[in-house]
Structure 1
């Protein structure tokens, strides 16, 4: 899997950082980011975090890490603290909080400079291609282990 690090953000000491720009398509009539668009930004952060860790969605589904598998968001809590606006450059921060046999808990934030705009807690389930829960392969657990204690 080839990764363009300029597009995929960068790994940090405790997770991942991805910069995204707010475009017209992300906003409502007033130029403020529509609330559902934050889900897109958060998804990009999670996907690029995995990609830079060497875990691509195609490789997961093809069974490169053991049995074919996928990740599915099971639960998400989002706190909207401040709005973003058209042309803002936002930073999506993603880090692993906890790993289990069949789930991952992630903490995500969206910032504009130093201003915290969004906080999200995400529970991701490991599923088979048929959508059934399954245990995470040891290799994936090792790669996703938190870098630092929280």
Structure 2
């Protein structure tokens, strides 16, 4: 039986590590990863980081941490340093840089072995189901604190 921890990566060093393989569907005609696919890889890293920290998206929307809420990417800076190619095994690293009352700043990297291919700085807003900004519940703040 497969468990969440088998497919969701692992928490380590205060952050999260997710290993994945590049498939044909991720590439352009030349076998190089299409730039927009990196957004998918980064999203998987963020989602599994939250999941392993005990913060599931469904539970957030159901009000499991107080009022119903969600996370929405508000801003993202991405540096594409080197290309990934078909069949590469990549690692997505995600760490919390800073927490605010209604936002989380995350640092993410995509590596092939020890080589950094992509660096991203992500600002995530906490929003209500209606899309309005809201304060992050204390329990979520504690779980996402840098280094926890």
Aligned length: 147
**TM value normalised by structure 2:** 0.97
CA RMSD, 1 decimal:
1.2
CA distance in 1, matches of 2:39, 2:81: 15
Residue 72 of structure 1 is matched in structure 2 by 72
**1:65 partner SS:** coil
Residue 114 of structure 1 is matched in structure 2 by 114
Asked if 1:63 is matched to 2:63, the reply is yes
Q: Which runs of 5+ in 1 are unaligned?
A: none
Alignment of 1:40-119 (within 5 A): 40-119=40-119
Asked if 1:130 is matched to 2:140, the reply is no
Deviations 1:20-71 (A, max 9, x none): 1000000000000000000000000000000000000000000000000000
TM-superposed CA distance for 1:88, in Å, is 0.3
TM-superposed CA distance for 1:4, in Å, is 1.4
TM-superposed CA distance for 1:14, in Å, is 2.2
CA distance in 1, matches of 2:14, 2:31: 33
TM-superposed CA distance for 1:13, in Å, is 1.4
**TM value normalised by structure 1:** 0.96
CA distance in 2, matches of 1:124, 1:4: 24
